[in-house]
């Protein structure tokens, strides 16, 4: 815990999303990896003997010249290639694109050799199995699935059956024109081209999209992944009764229905900084949930004052992505009933989470504690002030031993000032290195922190309250 313990364990960030395993070459970084893996598998196979694939009851003529040679174009037409695949593998320039461009090529080939026209088409195109006929259906379903969602950028992922991809690659690499477009990338192009006609203001991007769309080419299933938005700010915690993040109920371990102990909430504490900040924002952005990422944390009974503790709020599955930041700040402050305050919010990205988790900054505190059989005032002030500049050796405190590794941490007390003695109580201001257990610096945790205020006074000390006055992060 920050202020009373080291920062929490860091989460792994920027892991590749599973959908990227299926992303198109033109619009995702994972395509190169996927195709290389598939190519390696193909290389391991024995090369074709002429009987691998049949079209119209006859084996494919692997000895035919490749496109764009006229005989090569004629051969892939005889194979029963659809107009769309004809255009992408023939390597011929046409006025039109896609299926219309393929019809141009087919008509030119028929004009050169009328005998080509007698070859009937098979039930399925050998290159795409008539996948391009489903483009319009997929576009309609994407439009329907994204109604009500605010977005400006899209990234596509395409999942195709492995055997279809491999068979297409065999034919295209042998008979198609050099650098002809692979099936997966061409299918993504076709979908995006049609979507652009319905959504002229939408941009297709390679990274950081608002929406990631995965299309299953076998079942035509459409999965829409609304990417989260991120907000950076600083919070002040003015209450000594709320945790930073949601705290699952100890009795039911946070199960969805909760229990009698937590009154069905699943939470040990009904409120947290996460929800007091996040819930108003979640409601405005019509989002599903939030995650809270702070630069360390303070104990439940510790206030965080000054300019506040830096944090990033991750807003998950938002239906709206744009909002007036001043209005968001006002909504948080109005709904928190004086327990939490924020002054400003800024849009940010996921990388900011890593930066605030990795930042180690000094912190200033004010602490008040009681001393048993307290010595003379000057003796107390001199002993406590003498700890300024020392390096502490702090064994993992008992109160966090169930979730922290057992080890000794060395932390510096940068300065101690404003020592005030009031009867048997002492109040002081101190600045310490990040990760210092402040309460243990006072009462020593049964000797686990050396030196300590309790040790130099040779008296038992009891912490009454603690405030984080400033986090020196900037």
Catalytic residue among 7, 169, 299, 445, which? 299
Answer whether 230's CB lies under 8 Å from 350's CB: yes
Distances in whole angstroms, Cα of residue 129 to Cα of each of 38, 52, 162, 188? 19, 17, 13, 16
- 154 DSSP 8-state letter: E
* CA–CA–CA angle 386, 388, 392 (5° rounding): 100
373 tagged catalytic: no
Write down the pLDDT at residue 387. Answer: 96
- 166 DSSP 8-state letter: H
Closest by CA position to 55, among listed 33, 35, 79: 79
Write down the pLDDT at residue 146. Answer: 93
Compute mean pLDDT per 10 residues along the chain, 474 residues long, and list them: 45 46 42 39 42 54 84 90 94 91 93 83 84 93 93 92 93 92 93 91 92 92 95 97 90 82 84 96 97 94 96 97 96 95 96 93 96 95 96 92 85 96 96 95 95 96 97 86
User: Based on the number of CB atoms within 10 Å of its own CB, is 325 exposed (0-12), middle (13-18) or buried (19 or more)?
Assistant: middle
d(CA 158, CA 135): 12
Write down the pLDDT at residue 266. Answer: 82
Answer whether 341's CB lies under 8 Å from 238's CB: yes
Closest by CA position to 168, among listed 112, 124, 102, 225: 124
List of residues 6+ apart from 12 with CB closer than 8 A: none
Is CATH 3.30.479.10 the classification given to domain 229-358?
no
Closest by CA position to 25, among listed 9, 36, 14, 13: 36
- Return the exposure string of 182-203: e unless at least 16 CB atoms fall within 10 Å of the residue's CB, then b: bbbbbbbbbbbebbeeebeebe
| Phi, psi values for residue 437, rounded to 5° | -85, 105
H or E element at residue 157: strand 153-159
Range list for CATH 3.30.70.3190 in the chain: 363-471
d(CA 297, CA 454): 25
Beta bridge partners of 316: 289
3-state helix, strand, coil in the chain (%, to 5): 35, 25, 40
d(CA 40, CA 456): 69
Q: Which two tokens stand for residue 75?
A: 């051969």
Q: Look at the domain 363-471 and name its fold.
A: Alpha-Beta Plaits (3.30.70)
Beta bridge partners of 214: 157, 223
d(CA 464, CA 422): 13
- Return the exposure string of 263-279: e unless at least 16 CB atoms fall within 10 Å of the residue's CB, then b: eebbbbbebbbbbbbbb
Range list for CATH 3.30.70.2510 in the chain: 229-358
Give per-residue pLDDT as tens, 30-57. 333 333 344 444 344 444 444 455 555 5
Give per-residue pLDDT as tens, 106-161. 999 999 988 888 776 667 899 999 999 999 999 999 999 999 999 999 998 999 99
């Amino acid at each position: 815990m920050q202020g009373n313990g080291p920062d929490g364990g860091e989460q792994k960030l920027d892991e590749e999303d599973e959908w990227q395993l299926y992303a198109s070459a033109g619009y995702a970084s994972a395509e190169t990896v996927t195709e290389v893996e598939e190519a390696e598998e193909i290389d391991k196979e024995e090369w074709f003997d002429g009987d691998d694939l049949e079209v119209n009851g006859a084996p494919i003529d692997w000895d035919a010249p490749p496109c764009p040679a006229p005989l090569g174009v004629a051969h892939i037409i005889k194979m029963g290639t659809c107009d769309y695949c004809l255009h992408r593998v023939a390597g011929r320039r046409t006025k039109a694109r896609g299926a219309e461009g393929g019809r141009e090529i087919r008509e030119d080939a028929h004009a050169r050799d009328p005998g080509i026209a007698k070859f009937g088409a098979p039930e399925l195109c050998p290159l795409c199995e008539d996948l391009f006929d489903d483009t319009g259906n997929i576009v309609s379903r994407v439009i329907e699935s994204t109604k009500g969602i605010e977005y400006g950028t899209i990234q596509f992922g395409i999942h195709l059956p492995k055997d279809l991809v491999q068979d297409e690659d065999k034919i295209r690499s042998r008979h198609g024109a050099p650098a002809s477009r692979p099936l997966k990338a061409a299918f993504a192009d076709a979908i995006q081209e049609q979507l652009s006609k319905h959504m002229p203001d939408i941009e297709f991007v390679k990274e950081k999209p608002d929406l990631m769309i995965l299309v299953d080419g076998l079942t035509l299933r459409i999965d829409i992944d609304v990417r989260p938005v991120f907000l950076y700010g600083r919070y002040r915690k003015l209450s000594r009764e709320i945790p930073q993040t949601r705290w699952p109920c100890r009795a039911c371990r946070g199960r969805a229905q909760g229990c009698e102990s937590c009154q069905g909430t699943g939470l040990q504490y009904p409120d947290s900084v996460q929800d007091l900040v996040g819930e108003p924002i979640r409601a405005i952005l019509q989002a599903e949930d939030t995650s809270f990422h702070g630069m360390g944390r303070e104990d439940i009974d510790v206030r965080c004052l000054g300019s506040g503790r830096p944090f990033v709020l991750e807003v998950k599955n938002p239906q709206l992505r744009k909002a007036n930041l001043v209005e968001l700040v006002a909504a948080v402050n109005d709904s928190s009933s004086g327990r939490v305050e924020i002054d400003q919010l800024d849009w940010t990205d996921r990388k900011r989470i890593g930066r605030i988790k990795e930042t180690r900054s000094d912190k200033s505190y004010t602490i008040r504690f009681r001393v048993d059989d307290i010595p003379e005032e000057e003796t107390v002030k001199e002993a406590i002030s003498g700890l300024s500049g020392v390096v502490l050796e702090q064994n993992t405190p008992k109160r966090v031993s169930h979730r922290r590794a057992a080890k000794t941490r060395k932390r510096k007390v940068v300065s101690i000032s404003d020592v005030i003695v009031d009867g048997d109580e002492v109040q002081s201001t101190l600045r310490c290195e990040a990760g210092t257990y402040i309460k243990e610096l006072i009462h020593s945790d049964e000797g686990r922190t050396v030196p300590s205020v309790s040790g130099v006074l040779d008296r038992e000390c009891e912490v009454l309250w603690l405030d984080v006055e400033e986090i020196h992060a900037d």
